[in-house]
C-alpha cells in the first residue's frame, strides 16, 4: 500500500513543459493566424478550442523565431515576436521560485492596464478604464496550475450606469461607486483559475475560465470566449490528424439557476496541419 503513492508521485514529477491556461487575446490570435498564413506554419491545435496553453504558444514562437533569424519576418512581426517571447519564453514575473529536484517552477506577477478614450461629438467626453491583475502560475511535474483575478474600474463621462442585475446574460456584474442609484463610475472583479495535466497524447483540465469553441467571436454566444468564465472539465485526445475534445461543466444562464452543458468536438487537420476543420455538438 505504501508503494502506490510513491509510484504516482514519480510519474507526476516526470519532466514536462510549463503549461497553464492562457487568457484569450485577440493580439495573440491575429499574430498566429498572420504568421501561419504567410509562412505556412502549423496552427496550435487549441486555437479553435480555447483556452490555449503556454507550451503550445512557446512551441509556435520557437518556429517563428527561426524565421526571424533568417530575416524573413517584417519589422512589425519581429517586434510582436519579441514581446510575446518575453511573456511566454522568459516567463516575465516579479517573483519566481524553482526546485529542480521536484521539477517545479512558480511565478507571481502583477499586471496593470489602462485605457483612455477622449472624443468629441457635440461636446467633449472621455472614457477611462484601469485594470489590475495579480497572477500566480506554475507547474509540478506534468501538472500545471494558474490563478488570476482581474479588478477593473471604469469611468464614462457621458454615461450613468444603473445597478447591475448580476444576470450573466447582461454581461459582467459590477458595483457602482458611491451609495447612489446610478453613477458614471463602476468597478468589478473576475476570477480565473485551474489545473492542467498532460501525458503523451492525452490532456485533462478543470478550471474556471473563458471557453471558446470554433472561430466565433460574437459576445452573446456562450462559447465565444467573450462571455463570463465557465466552470468546466475538459479531456482531449490527440490522434495526430484527428482530435476529440469533450467538455462538460456548469452553465448559469440566470443567477441561482444552475444548468449543465456537454460539448463534443472533432478537429480535422488539413494541409499538413496548416488548416483546421471542426464539428461541434452541444447539449
Confidence band, pLDDT 50/70/90 cuts, at residue 90: low
Q: What is the average pLDDT across 66-90?
A: 88
pLDDT at 2 over 50: no
CA-to-CA dists, residue 203 to 187, 212, 276, angstroms:
36, 17, 19
Q: What is the average pLDDT across 217-242?
A: 80
pLDDT for position 92: 66
pLDDT for position 232: 94
Q: Give the separation between CA 203 and CA 211, rounded to whole angstroms.
A: 16
CB-based contact 203:21 (threshold 8 Å):
no
Percent of the chain with pLDDT over 90: 33
CA-to-CA dists, residue 281 to 49, 156, 209, 263, angstroms:
13, 40, 20, 6
Q: Give the separation between CA 267 and CA 281, rounded to whole angstroms.
A: 12
Query: Which among 3-12, 35-44, 209-218 has the top mean pLDDT?
Result: 35-44
Could you tell me whether strands 175-176 and 202-209 are parallel, antiparallel, or unpaired per DSSP bridges?
A: unpaired
**Nearest-CA neighbor of 140 among 104, 174, 111?**
104
Torsion over CA: 173, 179, 183, 185 (sign): negative
pLDDT for position 14: 44
**pTM tops 0.85, yes or no:** no
Amino acid at each position: 500500500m505504501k508503494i502506490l503513492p510513491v509510484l504516482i508521485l514519480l510519474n507526476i514529477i516526470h519532466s514536462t513543459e510549463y503549461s497553464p491556461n492562457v487568457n484569450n487575446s485577440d493580439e495573440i490570435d491575429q499574430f498566429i493566424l498572420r504568421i501561419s498564413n504567410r509562412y505556412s506554419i502549423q496552427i496550435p491545435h487549441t486555437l479553435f478550442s480555447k483556452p490555449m496553453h503556454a507550451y503550445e504558444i512557446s512551441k509556435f514562437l520557437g518556429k517563428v523565431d527561426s524565421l526571424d533569424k533568417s530575416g524573413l519576418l517584417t519589422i512589425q512581426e519581429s517586434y510582436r515576436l519579441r514581446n510575446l517571447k518575453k511573456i511566454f519564453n522568459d516567463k516575465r514575473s516579479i517573483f519566481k521560485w524553482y526546485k529542480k529536484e521536484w521539477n517545479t517552477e512558480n511565478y507571481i506577477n502583477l499586471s496593470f492596464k489602462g485605457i483612455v478614450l477622449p472624443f468629441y461629438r457635440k461636446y467633449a467626453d472621455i472614457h477611462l478604464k484601469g485594470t489590475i491583475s495579480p497572477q500566480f502560475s506554475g507547474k509540478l511535474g506534468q501538472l500545471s496550475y494558474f490563478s488570476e483575478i482581474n479588478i477593473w474600474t471604469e469611468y464614462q463621462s457621458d454615461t450613468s450606469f444603473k445597478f447591475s442585475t448580476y444576470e450573466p446574460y447582461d454581461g459582467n456584474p459590477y458595483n457602482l461607486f458611491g451609495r447612489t442609484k446610478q453613477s458614471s463610475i463602476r468597478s468589478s472583479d473576475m476570477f480565473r483559475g485551474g489545473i492542467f495535466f498532460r501525458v503523451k497524447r492525452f490532456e485533462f483540465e478543470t478550471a474556471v475560465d473563458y471557453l471558446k469553441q470554433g472561430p466565433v467571436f460574437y459576445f452573446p454566444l456562450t462559447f465565444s470566449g467573450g462571455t463570463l468564465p465557465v466552470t468546466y472539465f475538459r479531456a482531449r485526445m490527440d490522434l495526430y490528424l484527428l482530435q476529440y475534445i469533450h467538455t462538460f461543466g456548469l452553465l448559469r444562464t440566470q443567477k441561482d439557476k444552475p444548468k449543465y452543458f456537454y460539448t463534443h468536438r472533432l478537429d480535422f487537420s488539413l494541409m499538413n496541419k496548416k488548416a483546421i476543420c471542426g464539428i461541434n455538438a452541444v447539449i
